[in-house]
Structure 1
Amino acid sequence: MISNSFGLGIVFVYDTPKHQCFIPPSNLTQEWLQAVIPVSVVNSVEERSRCSRYRLDVVMNLSAQGSAPDDMNLTELQQEPCVDGWSYSKDIYQSTIVTEFDLVCNDQWKQPFTSTIYFIGVFVGSFIFGQVSDRFGRKPVLFTTMALQALFMFFQAFSTSWAMFAVLMLFTGAGNMANFGAAFVAALRWLSITLEMIGKFCIVGTTNFLFAYTAEVFPTVLRNTASGVCSTWARIGSCIAPFIIQLSLYFSFLPPIVMGTLAVGSAIGALFLPETVRQPLPETIQDMQHNKRIKFPCLGRQKTSSIDHVETKL
């Protein structure tokens, strides 16, 4: 649980504090220091620009001439991007990767893409290490990937550029999924997943339920591999999810509409999944054929499968 807590840390590491163009030390009056950042009205609220300022050389000349901001129409002044960088609010966080690498304005796309890179790593880890665990054992893979993940996270703290941070993020994601999958299946084999469920219950309870269910459906001979393949497909959605949040820039309700539609579709699809409650874990592929679909009284009496019918006759 400790090694996989990085998924929660992303929420804090990627936070974007309030920011505006940095104004280097100059002889500007206090009035001009307040007026050099353009103000616009967004949703009936005045907001200072985060990505532009009035041309500093023009403002400095006006200030030197004794002109006051109230004596002119500031909207007529030329604007320029934040050529001297940004200043960030430290009311909540002292620093994040956004403030360290200036992932704002023209580089704002790097924020969700960093999360996507992480989940690409999870994608790769799901696909590769599931098979590796089945072949070499879960314990060796678990402790090896935990060590590698800790090493990559350590180096991330000393990243000197966003590109370096992103590459290390890729390996961190791969290690995260590798040790999580190995630990989960190993816990299932020990017939105890209590600690895992307690640790994740309040945050990703549904995800853990799917992991448990997936492991119960597939037989022992390919449980790790099958769980890894399922996780691989799930990570495709994880890679896209950060960009879905950005849809709120066009329509505020669009992200919950998209996510809600997918959730309803998944719930309907769950009606056709096999039942695993009070059923022994399948050991072979042939054992999977004895699984029955989940029964819901509200859907009426369900038909007996052809396999059950043949077994009854025999």
Structure 2
Amino acid sequence: MRDYDEITAFLGEWGPFQKMIFSVLSLSVFPNGFGGLSIVFVGGIPEHRCLIPGNLNLSEAWLNRTIPLEQKRGKLQHSQCRRYRLDVIRNLSATFADPDSINMSEVEQEPCLDGWEYSKDQYISTIVSEWDLVCTNDWKMPFSMSIYFLGVLTGSFISGVLSDGFGRKAILFGTMAVQTGFNMLQVLSPNWEIFCLVNFLIGIGQISNYVAAYVLGSELLGKSIRIAYSTLGVGISYACGYMFLPLVAYFIRSWQILLFALSLVGLIYIPLWWLIPESPRWLLLKGKVQESEAILRYAAKKNRVTLPEILFSDFQLEDVKDKNVKSFTVTRLIKTRNIRGITIINLIVWIILAIGYYGLSLNTPNLHGDDYLNCFFSAAIEIPANIAAWLFLQRYSRKFSLSGSLFLCGIVLFFVQLIPPNISILATVLVMVGKFANTCAFAIIYAYTAELYPTVVRNTGVGVSLMVSRIGSIISPYVFFLGVYYEFLPYILMGSLTVFSATLVLLLPETVNIALPDTIDQMQKMKGFKSTCNKHYYLNKNETTGENNMVVIKTQDI
């Protein structure tokens, strides 16, 4: 019995309808590129020092000596969290006119009891300067980002259920509205706690929007276009949104105005409601045959092809429902020793990839050079990375493409620490190469994960992988935060983890040029660093009937 893709093959693969869907759905992902990463500038940490009250009547010489000097990153700088005790300074200034005659190392220190003063050289305001998220409260800034990713994790749980229940299109536009609306509300946050709460809700909306767009595109586009859609379409659109962030942030240095300006971008998606149709496949599953046929007739008209006299027979409808409605529990991912091993390795790699991607993206302020340029380059490098991933998926082994990308990422990050301080530009270049390799690996693993799992648990396997990867996203803000204590520590940690994951990938079976398995028994077997497959499954077309049959060829271990 033919499946949905065969039933709708008359539409062709790349007609005007598919081109329109490819373009507008890719465009819908554009805000996701700057939504989560805006914290780089919204939560930027300005230069700061303890505030000294103006009623002390100190001379300029004594005012300049109220803040102790500390070693930071090999340089002598004013302390950001300590000052000399002001009552002692006041008494000393009354006795000694010249502070250089005093040994200041013997003067007792105290924390910033009167708050902080912040430099406005780079930022007019950020959430850090707004709510004093420094010194003993410095953990709150990365926590703000972790809360966002906690929302993303929650959204990962519910997005699939909502999409299956209410339709791909409704959830796509509903979550875009949530994303845009809460971004606007976040501007009005009266305190850090409310800011975090709204950030959590934005995270739910953003991932649900992304998943709905990804699923809708996968169901509206043909098999040969889906890999291009996930890399060249969704991936590059996301990167363009990411590149848009530093361009806007460069001209808008206030966090409230920046968030408001970015949220306005969501309003331009209102006209897309009339361009993006619902998924005909989902409509069929819900018994809405006439609505599904209407969309396919519109697509046929757009592509200038002739429709069959009967689009769906009763048997074909039942077959589509049988293949799509049947669901399997998560426990199937650990049912056998083989699938359990694949699942464990796959989830570890997803978590490490997420730590690396967001750790590198959020680590922009710790790089040498201009923050805005570094953020722009970090975003721009994702475009060639997605193109490279597409080429690898078209021509080369999945396993070695993924492992090679991870290994390159890990090695260059690990060796950043060896670059001498006088050529810091080389360290930044290595970080960008690491970001390129990490993004390339992220694009590859989507397709590889879908091919590793059989049809009966494929959606479950990909969904669980995405959800578990959010653990890495939640951890990532604290990885880049380690750079406050030792600037190379994030790179050492991410480099080591990524090389470890590259080694683990070599244990997985190869999937290129192998027909997708339908059952758990048809999955390829793991065996050390070699893939074994006692049975290869190929699709063979019967010349008499024209039907595709599964041919089983027994082979020796490979």
TM-score (norm 1): 0.84
2:553 corresponds in structure 1 to: 312
**Counterparts of 1:276 and 1:292 in 2: how far apart (Å)?**
8
Change (3 A) 1:119 1:127: same
- 1:66 CA displacement: 5.5
Alignment of 1:1-314 (within 5 A): 1-4=29-32, 5-26=34-55, 27-65=57-95, 67-189=97-219, 190=221, 191-192=225-226, 193=229, 194-199=232-237, 200=239, 201-202=382-383, 204-215=439-450, 217=452, 225-248=460-483, 252-273=487-508, 275=510, 277=512, 285-286=518-519, 290=522, 292=524, 303-306=532-535, 308=537, 311-312=552-553
Q: Which amino acid is 1:242 matched to?
A: P
Find the counterpart in structure 1 of residue 399 from structure 2. none
Kept after mapping to 1: 8 A contact 2:82/2:112: yes
Aligned residue type for 1:236 = I
Q: CA RMSD in A?
A: 3.0
CA shift digits 1:3-60 (9 cap, x unpaired)? 3121231222222111101122232211111111111234542110101111223323
1:109-158 Cα shifts (integer Å, max 9, x gaps): 11221221111111111122123223332221111111111111111111
Rounded to whole Å, the distance in 2 between the matches of 1:52 and 1:152 is: 37
Q: For each residue in 1:150-183, what CA deviation from the matched residue of structure 2 results, as whole angstroms up to 9, or x when unmatched?
A: 1111111111111111111111111111111111
Q: In the TM superposition, what is the alpha-carbon distance from 1:82 to its structure 2 partner?
A: 1.0
Structure 2 counterpart of 1:3, one-letter code: P
Structure 1 residues 128 and 225: CA distance shift in structure 2, 3 A = farther
Q: Secondary structure, in 3 states, of the residue corresponding to 2:38? A: helix
Amino acid of the structure 1 residue aligned with 2:52: I
Paired residue type of 2:233: L
What is the identity percentage for the equivalent residue pairs of Structure 1 and Structure 2? Answer: 44
Paired with 1:228 and 1:137, the residues of 2 have a C-alpha distance of: 17
Moved more, 197-206 or 133-142: 197-206
Letter in 2 for 1:83: L
1:218 and 1:304 map into 2 onto residues whose CA distance is 14
User: Which residue in the other structure is 2:337 paired with?
Assistant: none
CA distance in 2, matches of 1:235, 1:223: 19
Structure 1 spans left out of the alignment, 5+ residues: none
- Contact kept, 8 Å, 1:122 with 1:235, in 2: the verdict is yes
Contact 2:179 2:206 in 1 (8 A): yes
Q: 2:510 and 2:217 mapped to 1: Cα distance?
A: 21
| Residues 16/91 of structure 1: CA separation in 2 closer, same or farther (3 Å cut) | same
- Aligned residue pair count: 305
C-alpha distance in structure 1 between counterparts of 2:169 and 2:514, whole Å: 27
User: Alpha carbons of 1:139 and 1:209: their partners in 2 closer, same or farther (altered >3 Å)?
Assistant: farther
2: distance between equivalents of 1:141 and 1:21? 48
Instruction: Say if 1:127 and 1:14 are closer, same or farther in 2 by CA, change over 3 A.
Output: same
> What amino acid sits opposite 2:468 in the alignment?
W
